[in-house]
């Protein structure tokens, strides 16, 4: 008898939608996305001035959003520039809209 793992029961689309939803599951990440969406790009240092959160905490949330593919970063020492990943943002909106309808 072959035992299935949990991942055998879910589609890649379901797993991706869950990853996007998890990344959106914190108010700081929502605030970061709103900040980035309101601008073309935003440097990490600017976010600490905009949000009442320590830089190290912002960095952790940025990593979570980047791991989910919702943002992308460009390293230009000594700063890192973050932007919305427009392709994945559109995909996340489409996937989550299908679930929430």
Domain housing 68: 26-100
CATH of the domain at 45: 1.10.10.10
Cα distances (angstroms) measured from residue 34 to each of 8, 11, 30, 67, 88: 35, 29, 6, 18, 15
Tell whether the model's pLDDT for residue 88 goes beyond 90.
Answer: yes
Instruction: Give the tens place of pLDDT for each residue, 31-75.
Output: 999 999 888 777 766 788 888 899 889 889 999 999 999 999 877
Quote the number of domains for the chain: 1
Q: How much is the pLDDT for 93?
A: 95
Torsion of CA 60, 61, 62, 64, to 10 degrees: 90
Would you say residue 67 lies in a domain? yes
Would you say residue 3 lies in a domain? no
Would you say residue 80 lies in a domain? yes
Q: How much is the pLDDT for 98?
A: 93
**How large is the average pLDDT for residues 12-21?**
95
pTM here is 0.84
Average per-residue pLDDT for the chain: 87
Angle 87-25-71 from CA coordinates, rounded to 5°: 30
**Across 2-6, 60-64, 92-96, least confident range:** 2-6
Q: How much is the pLDDT for 2?
A: 60
């Amino acid at each position: 008898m072959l035992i299935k793992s949990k991942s055998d029961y879910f589609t890649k689309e379901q797993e991706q939608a869950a990853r996007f939803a998890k990344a959106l599951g914190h108010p700081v990440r929502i605030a970061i996305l709103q900040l980035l969406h309101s601008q073309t790009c935003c440097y990490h240092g600017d976010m600490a001035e905009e949000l009442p959160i320590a830089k190290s905490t912002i960095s952790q949330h940025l990593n979570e959003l980047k791991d989910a593919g919702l943002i992308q970063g460009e390293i230009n020492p000594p700063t890192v520039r973050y932007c919305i990943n427009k392709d994945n943002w559109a995909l996340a909106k489409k996937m989550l809209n299908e679930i929430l309808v």
